Homo-oligomer: A and B are copies of this chain.
Amino acid sequence: MAERPVRQPADDLSLPQPYLLFLGDVTEPSFAKTAFGLADWAADKCVGEFALGETGVSTGLPEMSPAEAAAAGAKAMVIGVANPGGVIPEAWRAALVDALEAGLDIVSGLHNRLASFPELAEAARRNDRRLIDVRVPPPDITVGNGRKRSGKRLLTVGTDCALGKKYTALALHRAFVARGEEADFRATGQTGIMIAGGGIPMDAVISDFEAGAAEKLSPDAAPGHWDVIEGQGSLFNPAYAAVSLGLLHGSQPDVFVVCHDPRRTMILGLEGFALPSVEDVIDLTIRLGRLTNPAIRCGGVSFNTSGMSAEDAGALCAAESERLGLPVADPVRGEANFDRLVDNCLL
Using CB atoms and an 8 Å cutoff, list the residues of chain A in contact with chain B. Answer: 2, 143-147, 202-208, 210-212, 236, 238-243, 245-246, 249-250, 267, 270-273, 284, 287-288, 291-292
B292 near A238 (CB under 8 angstroms)?
yes
- Looking at A210, A249, A272, which has the most chain B CB atoms within 10 Å of its CB? A210
CB proximity of A290 to chain B, nearest CB, Å:
11
16 A–B contact pairs at CB < 8 A?
Answer: A2-B2, A144-B238, A144-B240, A145-B271, A146-B267, A147-B271, A202-B207, A204-B207, A208-B243, A210-B242, A211-B240, A212-B239, A241-B249, A241-B288, A242-B246, A242-B249
A245: B residues at CB distance < 8 A: 241-242, 245
- With A238-B146, A271-B147 known as contacts, the answer to whether A204 contacts B211 (CB < 8 A) is no
A210 to chain B minimum Cβ distance, whole angstroms, is 4
Residue of B nearest to A273 (CB): B146
Closest B residue by C-beta to A137: B206
Closest A-B pairs by Cβ, 7 of them: A242-B246, A146-B238, A203-B208, A144-B239, A210-B242, A242-B242, A207-B243
With known contacts A204-B206, A207-B204, A146–B272 Cβ distance under 8 A: yes
CA distance A107 to B250 in the complex (A): 34
Chain B nearest Cβ from A110, distance in angstroms: 16
- What is the bound-complex CA distance between A25 and B147, given in angstroms? 39
In the bound complex, how far is the Cα of B210 from the Cα of A202, in angstroms?
A: 13
Contacts A205-B206, A236-B291, A242-B245 aside, 12 further interface pairs with beta carbons under 8 A come to A2-B2, A145-B238, A145-B239, A145-B271, A204-B207, A206-B206, A207-B246, A211-B240, A238-B249, A241-B245, A242-B246, A242-B249
Shortest CB–CB separation between residue A140 and chain B, in angstroms? Answer: 15
Bound state CA distance, A207 and B240, in angstroms? 8
B residues in contact with A204, CB < 8 Å: 206-208
Cα A210 to Cα B243 in complex, Å, equals 9
